[in-house]
Amino acid sequence: MLRTQVAIIGAGPSGLLLSQLLHLHGIDSILVERHSREYVAARIRAGVLEQGTVDLLLEANLGERMLKERLVHDGFSLAFSGRTERVDLKGLTQKAVSVYGQTEVTKDLIEARVAAGAKICFTASEVAIEGIDDHHPTVRFTQEGRTQEITCDFVAGCDGYHGICRQSVPKDAIRTFERLYPFGWLGILADVPPVAHELIYSNHARGFALCSMRSSTRSRYYVQCGLDEKLEAWTDSRFWDELRSRLPDEIADAVVTGPSIEKSIAPLRSFVVEPLKFGQLFLVGDAAHIVPPTGAKGLNLAAADVRVLYRAIVEYYRTGSTESLNLYSEKSLRRTWKAVRFSWWFTSISHKFSDDPFANRLQLAELDYLSGSTAALTSLAENYVGLPFE
């Protein structure tokens, strides 16, 4: 039988970051992760960090490599109707965003946790939580054929959308809000220089496209695709042709192509559960909410949850007060819903939902209005760089 203060289910960015911040405040945790260390460290996902996320990583003593290798972006571009309009994030909000891949964040976190001697139980199966309404819940799992049991004070459910923590809550205690989008994103990663030094979001009659990057030599490109698309049908050359067809000519001509090193299709969804606290169990990050990646908010929201929860746990162990723990759900959900709204809105003006020409003209009018209005651009920019913390 193992004993810890906080049992953390899932060693993605939420779980690892929570564990690292608690450790820096003298609070013990054990991480239980379904996959292997190599699998977790290699997953290709988000890439844009808000300043608040960068600050939290610095607070977790993880900044050194990030500060050296990140790309700081003061703006991004909107392409539509053959035009390209820059959104000057820095000029509008005095803030910028950082491009530093989630893969790198995860690697830094795993290294820091392992160096500090953290207990991380990788390749755990049959993970189950019991007694969330008791003061000392139990987490049970199987590792290398052996059943293990952890007793703890709190369980942090950081196990993503498909995890077991949310599913452990009685159905009548949880409310789910969901919106599925009628398309997905086909993304490729390639070791070619990005077409521009900032991101380009393109609204096109053939569908949305995004030019993004992970570094000055590694590009990440996406095209909107049907939910029934098969990855095998997308050769690299078909992908590059489709991407270029959805960009203004001068940008399309500048795209450097090359073999993909990763290719995947992700469906788009908005998803939120309420509340986020059930007795001693707290849902964090993707276990609690999912947003379409258009607004680059998924990883940032996960970090924002961790920020609120770790401070509440520290306060509890310092003072015995449960006040901040009891406010976790309300505080995190207020921020979450604003990011859900922004991600939904940005998706709705940039993607092709149907062949309806009226809807398309409305999107183009909105993009035209946006690019000519400082007020509208400021609203876009302040959401994109991350709303201030309360």
Ligand X SMILES: Cc1cc2nc3c(=O)[nH]c(=O)nc-3n(C[C@H](O)[C@H](O)[C@H](O)COP(=O)(O)OP(=O)(O)OC[C@H]3O[C@@H](n4cnc5c(N)ncnc54)[C@H](O)[C@@H]3O)c2cc1C
Please report, for residues 250, 267, 301, 366, the alpha-carbon distance to residue 246 in angstroms, rounded to integers and kept in the order given.
Answer: 12, 20, 29, 19
Integer Cα distance of 117 and 112 in angstroms: 9
Q: How many positions of this chain bind ligand X (CB under 6 A)?
A: 34
Is 317 annotated as catalytic? no
Is 73 annotated as catalytic? yes
Count of Cβ atoms closer than 10 Å to residue 171 Cβ: 8
Nearest distance from C-beta of residue 228 to ligand X, angstroms: 18
Confirm or reject binding of residue 159 to ligand X (CB under 6 A). Answer: yes
Integer Cα distance of 342 and 301 in angstroms: 12
Site string for ligand X, 177-216 (x = CB under 6 A): ----------------------------------------
Helices (H), 94-189: 102-115
Confirm or reject binding of residue 302 to ligand X (CB under 6 A). Answer: yes
Query: CB neighbours of 364 closer than 8 A, spacing ≥ 6?
Result: 80, 81, 203
Active-site choice (100, 181, 201, 316):
201
Active-site choice (73, 204, 277, 351):
73
Confirm or reject binding of residue 313 to ligand X (CB under 6 A). Answer: no
Nearest distance from C-beta of residue 372 to ligand X, angstroms: 28
Q: Which region among 18-26, 42-50, 112-120, 129-137 touches ligand X (by CB under 6 A)?
A: 42-50
Burial 49-70 (b: 16+ CB within 10 A, else e): bbbbbbbbbeebebeeebeeeb
Residue pair 24/275 in contact (Cβ under 8 Å)? The answer is no
Task: Give the residue from 368, 305, 383, 373 showing the smallest Cα distance to 56.
Answer: 305
Is 90 annotated as catalytic? no
Site string for ligand X, 66-105 (x = CB under 6 A): ------------------------------------x---
Confirm or reject binding of residue 112 to ligand X (CB under 6 A). Answer: no
Structure tokens at 167: 């599913």
Considering the complex, state which of residue 93 and residue 106 has its C-beta at the smaller distance from ligand X.
Answer: 106
Confirm or reject binding of residue 339 to ligand X (CB under 6 A). Answer: no
Is 95 annotated as catalytic? no
Structure tokens at 358: 């009226």
Structure tokens at 314: 């520290």
Please report, for residues 156, 169, 228, 305, 347, the alpha-carbon distance to residue 270 in angstroms, rounded to integers and kept in the order given.
Answer: 22, 20, 19, 17, 11
Query: CB neighbours of 111 closer than 8 A, spacing ≥ 6?
Result: none
Confirm or reject binding of residue 242 to ligand X (CB under 6 A). Answer: no
Confirm or reject binding of residue 34 to ligand X (CB under 6 A). Answer: yes
Nearest distance from C-beta of residue 216 to ligand X, angstroms: 18
Active-site choice (204, 277, 297, 352):
297
Confirm or reject binding of residue 351 to ligand X (CB under 6 A). Answer: no
DSSP classification of residue 37: H
Among 7, 9, 78, 99, which residue interacts with ligand X (rule: CB under 6 A)? 9
Is 384 annotated as catalytic? yes
Where on the chain is the footprint of ligand X (CB under 6 A)? 9-15, 32-35, 40, 45-47, 102, 124, 127, 158-160, 162-164, 264, 266, 285-286, 293, 296-299, 302
Which positions are catalytic? Answer: 73, 201, 293, 297, 384
